[in-house]
Amino acid sequence: MENKLPIPDSVEEIEEYMKKRIGLGDSFDLGVRKLKVLRKDVHFYFVNGLTDTQFIIEIVEELVAINDNEKLSANISKIVENRLVHQSVAQIKTMDELVDQVLSGLIVVVMEGVTHGLVVDVRSYPGRTPMEPDTEKVVRGSRDGYVENIIINTALTRRRIRDERLRFEIMRVGERSKTDVAIGYIKDIANPDLIDVIRKEIAAIQIDGITMADKTIEEFLLKQGFNPFPLVRYTERADVAATHLLEGHVLIFVDTSPSVMISPTTYFHHLQHAEEYRQSPAVGTFVRWIRFLGVASSLFLLPLWFLFVLEPSLLPESIAFIGPNEETNIPVIIQLFLAEIGIELLRIAAIHTPTPLSTAMGLIAAVLIGQIAIDVGLFVPEVILYVSLAAIGTYTTPSYELSIANKLFRLLLLVLVAIFHTPGFVVGITIFILFLANMKPLNTPYLWPFIPFHPKALWRILIRASVPGSSIRPSIVHTTNRYKQPPKNNTSK
| Contact call for residues 86 and 121 (beta carbons, < 8 A) | yes
pLDDT in tens, 129-188: 888 888 888 888 888 899 999 989 999 999 999 999 999 999 999 888 889 999 999 998
For residue 357, what pLDDT is reported? Answer: 67
Name the more confident of 241 and 355. 241
Residues listed for the chain: 493
Three-state DSSP at 278 gives coil
Pairing of strands 107-111, 250-254: unpaired
Q: What is the mean pLDDT of the chain?
A: 87
Three-state DSSP at 292 gives helix
pTM: 0.86
pLDDT in tens, 68-121: 877 777 688 888 888 888 888 899 999 999 999 999 889 999 999 899 999 998
For residue 87, what pLDDT is reported? Answer: 84
Q: In Å, how far are 105, 153, 283 from 399, measured between CA atoms?
A: 34, 20, 21
Q: In Å, how far are 44, 96, 150, 285 from 77, measured between CA atoms?
A: 13, 20, 31, 63
For residue 79, what pLDDT is reported? Answer: 87
Taking the C-alpha atoms of residue 385 and residue 368, their distance in angstroms, rounded to an integer, is 16
Taking the C-alpha atoms of residue 436 and residue 424, their distance in angstroms, rounded to an integer, is 18
pLDDT in tens, 256-280: 999 999 999 999 999 999 888 888 9
The answer, yes or no, to whether the previous bond of 264 is cis (omega within 30 of 0) is yes
pLDDT in tens, 374-395: 777 778 888 888 998 999 999 9
Sheet holding 233-235, edge to edge: 166-173, 179-186, 250-254, 260-263, 233-235
| Contact call for residues 48 and 73 (beta carbons, < 8 A) | no
